[in-house]
Structure 1
Amino acid sequence: MSFQELEQQKLHQKDQEQRQKLLLQQQQQRQQRQQQEDFIERTDLLNSALQLITRAQNIQDEPMLTVEALQAYVMDLKLKEKAQQAASPRVQLVHRVLKQRPGSNMEKQMYMYLDQPMWLEGETSRRDALAGNLPLQSTSSYTSKHPEVCCLIYRDYDITYLNRMEVEGEDYDLPTKPNHTAETVELVTASLAAAVTKFMKYYSFNTEDDNTVESVELSGLHICIYHARGNALIPFLETLEDEQHDQFQVLLNFFMSQYEDEYNLVDHMTRRGIITQEYIKYLFKPGDIIVKGHDQDARGYLSMSWLKNEDRKDRPNQSSSQTKTKTTFSGKAWNWELDSVFSRGVGALTIQFDAKDYSEKKISDMNIRPLLYVKEPTKTRLETRGQWFWKCRMRRMVCYDDTRKSQHYSSDERYMVDMMIYHELHKPNSSIRRQYIDHIDSEALKQENPPDKNFIYLSPLTVKAYNLKRKKWVDLNLDGLREISWNTQAFESLVLKEKTKRLIRALVSNQIEAEKSTDLISGKGNGLIMLLHGGPGTGKTLTAESVAEIAKRPLYPVTCGDIGTKPEEVEKYLESVLYLGKTWGCVVLLDEADVFLEQRSLEDLHRNALVSVFLRVLEYYDGILILTSNRVGTFDEAFKSRIQLAVHYNSLTTHQRTKIWGNFIRRLKDFNEDGIDFIDLEDNIEQLASREMNGREIRNAITTARQYVRWERQQAQNFKLDYKVMKGVIETAGEFDDYINTLNGGFTQEQLAKEDGIR
């Protein structure tokens, strides 16, 4: 290359360099101008933003508000917020997701979040993926960093339960944000724990299961607040200290805001007397009277706890398609029991629903419901039963009308209620310990009325009572107890001489009034012993029954079959009978006592022992004892000095039989029984009395005739019990007596007994 070409090349290269330098300068200038324009625009925007912040936050106007000044202001706000948080208590929601641990049927894993967990989309099975965005590792660590948190509200989401709801509910649409399956409250601060403790005590919401509220998670606190909300809270809040008041108010505000709609819905339903499974827990609270059952089976309890959802499934041996899922709610309750002392009988009350049944239920028709919703007839029944239960605290003779029409009880039978004696005779095993014993003090027992207004609703269904005829303790329904109507007119109807009746009445009256005997030996017989002797059916037993009526005392009938024949057994049994007779003030009737009254002899040592035992027992008896016998011809002489009055009953005369027939016909009229021609019977009383019959035979004839007519009237309604029918019954029954008389050579039983010297 020539020199000239080299020079040209250098000039061209230099020209290129200058051109590039110029382009670079122009580019830099453009960038600088753009930066200046951008800065001006940003400055204008920043100034506008600062002015807006100034006006919004009420910051004092300054000539030049810089970014540094704004940063200082924000820092000051943060400090103030932190101080405010430290001073103002708050409630923190904690959401807990419970998931079945792999390989375990019972154990569950728990994940905690500060935000509402949601079902995650895009998973193989979204039902297994429930999570929040703000996980929480430890609540204790969180509360230590946030001292303003006075309370943690745990909301649990049981994935197993939610899955079951979807599988078992055909129309159940699983929401993105599921509802929590349980809610509990943890009281973080001592002040709030103290406030809640006062709250529970103030409204009597404490239960037997409660421990200290500082150390446990409380479930159902929103239900407690439901029952105490409104103006009723004002006097309670005034009892709290300042810090307790502030923290409790925060908790109260939380529940009122979270449950306001639910509270209003429950109010609306209960005003209409209905409830659903979902809100059944609102219906019961501790201290409420709860009634279980209806009509005669209705029984009152005092609630001791809040209802708990047992979430039980009844799965018998059947296919899954036949399985019926039940939702079960249960709670503790107690009512009174009487076993010589009043004590609390504690039990569990359960309410079951079909898990898919969310329909409205009429509260008064539910098997378990509060007293407020019980129908008036049932409430009246409970009150009457409770009043009788209170009467039974003391020894009491009662009349019983079996309201359940059991075959084991006769109408208007009489019983002795005496729990002290029952307890003495049936002492429980010392190893058995009754829980929740709650004695009513002796002063309260002396009062005419029960110790509190709830008592009458909390009585049991039955009470122990002694049947004096059957000699056994039985359970009587309290609903069937009645006051005794003493038949004092029965004594006047006795077919006895008037002077004999007056003498008996005088002796009985004096015995009742007597306090001390004139016997010089202390403890020796202060009683009244009478002997009624005569043939069968002459009125001996009726006299004893009538004596009990005019004395207004229970009749304790005993026969030789009850006593036995072994001397040691006889003595033990007689002592027990006479002990009860004395304790209860009975008229003791020893019917057909011939075996004990018979004269002793050298040949029969066994009989002698029986008579001696009987004599010894009688020697120290203090009550009224009536002996009946139809064999006084063999009477032992030792009894004469021990018997205060002996009354002989001759065979009935025609006049006496006429009186007896008249008494029975008048009693039939009192029954208001259809199908009896009373006029015809009364017109023919003399013809009826002409037949030789004793009182028992007359009664049997009337009973047989009534049964016969009752059967005939099923075929013909116009059939009646008249003289002709009665005569036919008497003749039919008398054929046997006529045959016996023929065998005895025409002699009656009365004539034979007199001839043998035994009557």
Structure 2
Amino acid sequence: MRRVAQMSSENSSSSNEDISSKLRNGSADTVTFDNLHHLFQSGDMVYKTQSPHQICQVWLTGLVDNVVFQIDAYYLGCDGLILIPIWERFNIPRYQGERRIVDIVLNPTVYFADIRGTLRDAIQSGKWYVILSTTMTHVGMRASTMGDQGSSSKETLIVDISVYREEHKGEILFHTFPADQFPSAPAEVQLDSLTDEHYAMCSKDIRAYNLQSHEWSRLHVDDLVKITSDPNPVGFENIALPDDHMKMIKALLRTNKGRELKCLLHGSPGVGKTFTTECAADFIQKPLYSISGHDLTRNAEKLEQQLMQHIRRAAKWDCVLVFEDADYLLERRDKGILFMTASEGIEFDSAFKSKIHVSLYYPPLDQKRTLGIWRMNLDKIDRSNDLFSKYFDIMEFGKAHWEDNPRLRYNGRQIRDAFTIAVGLAKSSPTPEGSFLLDDGHFRQVADILEKFDDHIFAEEETHSDSDSEAIPSVYAEDEDTRSDDSQLYSDLGPVPGIDGEDEDVQSDNSSLNSDFRPDLVDASNISKNFEVSEHQRRERTGGRRGEEEAIREAEREIADLRARRASYYRRPD
């Protein structure tokens, strides 16, 4: 009897050793709750299976009240100076029977199908994370954000943990081990002693400042790519600018060498002012930091503080700073390059003029410059892989439209919008070969919609004028820009030229000519009564009738968007 009991004990011990061995070497598929202590042990490298995914190291494990298996693990975050252990606790409630290991919140790395590839990718991401956390970096988006904000792949950002910490004092960046609970918690790691294991355990979460939305966002490091200089930028030679403007700006930029430079660009909407600033930033390979009235508070007491914050950021990040319709800010920047845009027809006092180094006037587009913008857009289309164009037919249409429609001549942004809509029409109807052909007929459809919309707007304006003799002056006045009430916000700051509201230059420039098309899909013939098309970018859909019907429904859901934009485009003729 004693021998039988001994054999039974030996068999049980052998069975436990066999289970432990399988769980430890990654050959097991399932595990019971009571055997979790074999699967997770201190020092193990584990992978967090829930988003955001993260490689961690197990610090402590234990059973709580015999109903919860508790794992205290950590990974590494960087505050710009050192790597700090970030504590995270995982609780696995008691369960009955077997559970698949891949379904548990943490997986030991030995269970990776491609453990070498996974660790290699984690190490590479960790090195990128450390670079981003310790240096100011100008980056772009590879994919969507993982946290607070959604971002477009065209957006540019600045990663600078020191500025983020300064602007968010008191915020807890990392949840570290409580000293009273973990007196012997993992130690901080110096940046000069990092190993591949440290890199693999680095956080995937980084803060970055969006230069378009002017907001800080939580992003995944693998979604960020460093912005490098473009070997073939869309520079000054590719935009419709007077030759003397181009020569002067390029000369000033070459000789500036970090000194103060303030430039005022003023003129009609949509003639290239803001696009000039983008080309200038590309020319000297610096980020563009643009501020408009929409980015500023309406609280007069907080306005100066907010402005100074923008200026400090731009100076620290060595950006080309652009103020749109904000001439009252001249005295607040004492170094670096500053561009400002202003509308046509405003008057400048002598004190204002004395602070400007160079002032360039942008006249309305003539036929030559207009056709140059048409040609540039067509050249971009011809460089695409899936879209072909009847180049000469479209150029003839552009020429005829300018000659036959003196009231409705397009500015630079309107030409861009016309191309966006026309390309959308072309992509809703593929050829039998599966490609897409853009022709002048698409632009005729667009012109028909916009002309009807203008007639509708003009009729409404006439009705409004007849019913109210004291109405606000029309935004269609050809020789006078209507000013927004927003200018009152800045009355305490001294003489200020009028500030455009609905007629913002930054909203009426050629800036988007420097980006790839993301066409809207619009069946113009079926929404002509609305006279409106959304400006929002939408994903390309498959061709044929189904694509057209989806495009129509999408456009009709957003028909209100164009009313505000189109109303700012056109001016009533004399």
- Shorter-normalised TM-score: what interval? 0.5 to 0.7
Superposed, which structure 2 residues align to 1:310-709 within 5 Å? 310=64, 312-313=66-67, 328-340=68-80, 342-351=83-92, 354-357=95-98, 361=100, 367-376=105-114, 378-393=118-133, 394-403=135-144, 408-428=150-170, 434-435=176-177, 439-441=188-190, 444=191, 451-487=194-230, 489-492=233-236, 493-511=238-256, 513-514=257-258, 526-564=259-297, 568-593=301-326, 597=327, 611=328, 614-618=329-333, 621-631=334-344, 633-673=346-386, 676-678=387-389, 680-691=390-401, 692-709=409-426
- 1:697: Cα distance to partner? 0.3
8 Å contact from structure 1 (residues 289, 457) kept in 2: no
The amino acid across from 1:662 in the alignment is R
Structure 1 residue runs of 5 or longer lacking an equivalent are: 1-115, 117-174, 181-255, 314-327, 515-525, 598-610
Letter in 1 for 2:254: S
For 1:36, the equivalent position in structure 2 comes to none
Partner secondary structure for residue 490 of structure 1: coil
Separation of aligned partners in 1, 2:11 and 2:455: 97
Cα distance, 1:270 vs structure 2: 5.2
Tell me the equivalent position of 1:293: 49
Matched AA of 2:107: R
Aligned residues of 1:403 and 1:479 also touching (Cα < 8 A): no
**CA positional deviation for 1:684:** 2.6
Question: Cα–Cα, structure 1 residues 689 and 270, in superposed 2: closer, same or farther, change >3 Å?
Answer: farther
The 1:272–1:337 alpha-carbon spacing in structure 2 relative to 1, beyond 3 Å, is closer
- Structure 1 counterpart SS, 2:143: coil
CA contact (8 A) 1:662 1:682 kept: no
Residue identity in the other structure for 2:444: K
CA offsets per residue over residues 612-648 of structure 1, 9 Å max, x none? xx34324xx2121110011354122212222122222
Instruction: Describe the SS at the equivalent of 1:661.
Output: helix
- CA deviation string 1:325-362 (max 9, x = no partner): xxx433211112244554221122345673222x7x5x
Q: Secondary structure at the match of 1:575?
A: helix
Q: CA deviation at 1:690?
A: 3.8
Cα displacement string for residues 234-269 of structure 1 (whole angstroms, at most 9, x for unaligned residues): xxxxxxxxxxxxxxxxxxxxxx99956644564456
* Secondary structure of 1:465's aligned partner: strand
Shift of 1:177: 10
Q: What CA distance in whole angstroms lies between the structure 2 residues aligned with 1:724 and 1:433?
A: 60
Whether the 8 Å contact between 2:308 and 2:332 is mirrored in structure 1 is yes
Q: Mark the CA change 1:713 to 1:404 in structure 2 (over 3 Å): closer, same or farther.
A: farther
Distance 1:289 1:714, change over 3 A: farther
What CA deviation, in whole Å up to 9, does each residue of 1:483-522 have, x standing for no partner?
21444612232212344323322322333x34xxxxxxxx
Q: Is the 1:548–1:555 contact (alpha carbons within 8 Å) kept by the matching residues of 2? A: yes
Q: Is the 8 A contact 1:741 1:748 kept in 2?
A: no
CA deviation after TM superposition for structure 1 residue 291, in Å: 0.9
Change (3 A) 1:748 1:666: farther
* Residue 290 to residue 583, structure 1, CA distance change in 2 (3 Å): same
| In the alignment, structure 1 residue 273 sits paired with structure 2 residue 27 | yes
1:10-409 paired onto structure 2 within 5 Å: 262-263=16-17, 266-267=20-21, 273-274=27-28, 276-277=30-31, 279-293=35-49, 297-305=52-60, 307-310=61-64, 312-313=66-67, 328-340=68-80, 342-351=83-92, 354-357=95-98, 361=100, 367-376=105-114, 378-393=118-133, 394-403=135-144, 408-409=150-151
Give the direction of change, closer, same or farther, for the CA distance of 1:568–1:365 in structure 2 (3 Å limit).
Answer: closer
Deviations 1:8-50 (A, max 9, x none): xxxxxxxxxxxxxxxxxxxxxxxxxxxxxxxxxxxxxxxxxxx
Per-residue deviation at 1:698?
0.5
Deviations 1:719-742 (A, max 9, x none): 853211112202321344567789
- Partners of 1:740 and 1:268 lie apart in 2 by 76
Q: CA, structure 1 residues 453+748, in 2 after alignment: closer, same or farther (shift >3 Å)?
A: closer
SS of aligned partner of 1:686: helix
Compared CA separation, residues 283 and 706, structure 1 to 2 (3 A): same
CA distance 1:479–1:472, shift in 2 (3 Å): same
Tell me by how many angstroms 1:364 deviates.
Answer: 6.0
Identity %: 23
- For 1:372 and 1:689, the matched residues in 2 are separated by 67
Q: Which has the larger radius of gyration?
A: 1
Shift in alpha-carbon separation, 1:616–1:504, aligned structure 2, 3 A: closer
| C-alpha spacing 1:179/1:424, structure 2 compared with 1 (3 Å) | farther
Structure-2 separation of matches of 1:470 and 1:424: 20
Answer whether contact 1:688 1:727 (CA < 8 A) is retained. Answer: no
Structure 1 pair 308–727 and aligned structure 2 pair: CA distance change class (3 A): same
8 Å contact from structure 1 (residues 539, 695) kept in 2: yes
Q: TM-score, normalised by structure 2?
A: 0.67
Q: Distance in 2 between matches of 1:533 and 1:398?
A: 30
SS at match of 2:479: helix
What aligned pairs does 1:727-738 form with structure 2 within 5 A after superposition? 727-737=444-454
CA deviation after TM superposition for structure 1 residue 299, in Å: 0.7
Q: Which has the higher contact order (CA 8 A, sep 6+)?
A: 2
Residues 144 and 150 of structure 2 are in contact (CA less than 8 Å); yes or no, is this contact kept in structure 1? Answer: no
Give the gaps of 5 or more residues in structure 2: 178-184, 402-408, 463-473, 484-496, 501-574
Letter in 2 for 1:752: D
Give the Å deviation of 1:649.
Answer: 1.4
TM-score with structure 1 length normalisation?
Answer: 0.52
Q: Distance in 1 between matches of 2:350 and 2:7?
A: 98
Residue 287 of structure 1 deviates from its aligned partner by 2.6
Q: Give the match's secondary structure for 1:354.
A: coil
Q: 1:721 to 1:665 in 2, by over 3 A?
A: same
Deviation at 1:365, TM superposition (A): 6.6
Q: Secondary structure at the match of 1:336?
A: strand
Q: 1:540 to 1:375 in 2, by over 3 A?
A: farther
* Equivalent position SS for 1:274: coil
Find the residue that maps to 1:385 and give its secondary structure. Answer: helix
Q: How many residues align?
A: 448
Taking a change above 3 Å as real, the CA distance of residues 292 and 563 of structure 1, as seen in their structure-2 partners, is: closer
Instruction: Return the offset for 1:587.
Output: 1.2
Among 479, 485, 488, the alignment partner of 1:752 is: 479
